[in-house]
Amino acid sequence: MERVVLVTGASGGVGLALCRRLLEEDGRIHLCVACRNAPKAEAARDAILEAHPAAQVSTVEVDLGSLASVLRAARELRCRFQRLDFVYLNAGIMPNPHVNFKALWKGLLTGKLLHMLTTAEGVMTQTDRLNGDGLQEVFATNLFGHFILIRQLESLLCGNEKPSRLIWTSSSNARESAFSLSDYQHAKGQESYSSSKYATDLTSVVLNRRLNKQGLYSSVVCPGLVMSNMTYRILPVFLWTLLMPIMWLIRFFAKTYTLTPFNGAEAHVWLFKQKPEYLDALAKYHSCTSGLGKNYVEPRKMDVDEETAEKFYQKLLELEEQALERYSDLLD
């Protein structure tokens, strides 16, 4: 039987490029594209079929920032599929990003500018808000919605003849300094994106501990700096136009400046071809592009404390129990 691959956040950017690249690797897969609303899902499907007209591509509507939407999508997927071989947890948001130009200037003077440009450390802040479920929007969309989704899909992911895979899109911006167990939704800070991505890294570590024996493996990737709709919102368009030649030049020194969604999907596609039992559960797999445009993957050890990861996972389970009490009508 063909392998079934689910990709969240597939309407554009890395997600859409990933879908196209996966079909180039294996045109026999059944690809299910998950998008926030039906028109976006259909538009993504049409774009994929334009390049791969013989492909098996279906859609599912899921807004990761809405628990009701996640539960409805999970129920639909359980009805449609007997198993899932790959789930790419790629959807994410970065609302109201702001650049700290004073910090950039300080980085230039202290010789830390390249590090700041490749990690956004000390440079990027966001303004978060509560969603309709009373959760911080970035935490809910980037992590918790995905967590609930895979928890609801465990029957399709565990105990299959061949291992199933979870592949999370994280970031080089995932930093321990932005995360706190006492404020894991990041209600009090201004680096909600960084916090949510560090929480993603922690979650992946624990999932491997708990579910490898049931045939489910989790990996984390970083697509690098990709020019996408999310990125373009950070600065006015005319500034990006002025900066692009400089960014292409920076790529000779910063290999994580992948710049295009196609390049950014390199690690995602590389993992599609690997045997999960040979991968390092504590590594993040980075998409990299050389100055001359060659794509490759570089694994790097994640800066995660496994005890903190376990404590955080327990908090996720507690939050899940509280959240699902409101939606008992959507549970089997």
Q: Catalytic residue positions?
A: 193
Distance linking the first and last C-alpha atoms of the chain = 27
Gap between the Cα atoms of 259 and 246, Å rounded: 12
Using CA atoms in the order 65, 71, 76, 81, what is the torsion angle rounded to 10 degrees? 100
Query: Backbone dihedral region of 87: left (phi > 0), alpha (psi from -120 to 50 degrees) or beta?
Result: beta
Dihedral sign computed on CA atoms, order 135, 138, 141, 144: negative
- Beta-carbon neighbour count of residue 83 at 10 Å? 17
- With beta carbons less than 8 A apart as the criterion, state whether 42 and 50 touch: no
Distance CA 135, CA 141 (A): 9
Nearest to 267 by CA among 294, 298, 290, 291: 298
Residue ranges of E strands in the chain:
4-8, 30-35, 56-61, 86-89, 98-99, 124-125, 164-169, 216-222, 283-289, 295-301
Left (φ > 0), alpha (ψ -120 to 50) or beta: where does 299 sit?
beta
SS (H, E, C) 245-296: HHHHHHCCCCCCCCECHHHHCHHHHHHHCCCHHHCCCCEEEEEEECCCCCEE
Which H or E run includes 40?
helix 38-51
Cα angle, residue 267 at apex, residues 28 and 234 outer, rounded to 5°: 115
Residue written as token pair 């045997």: 275
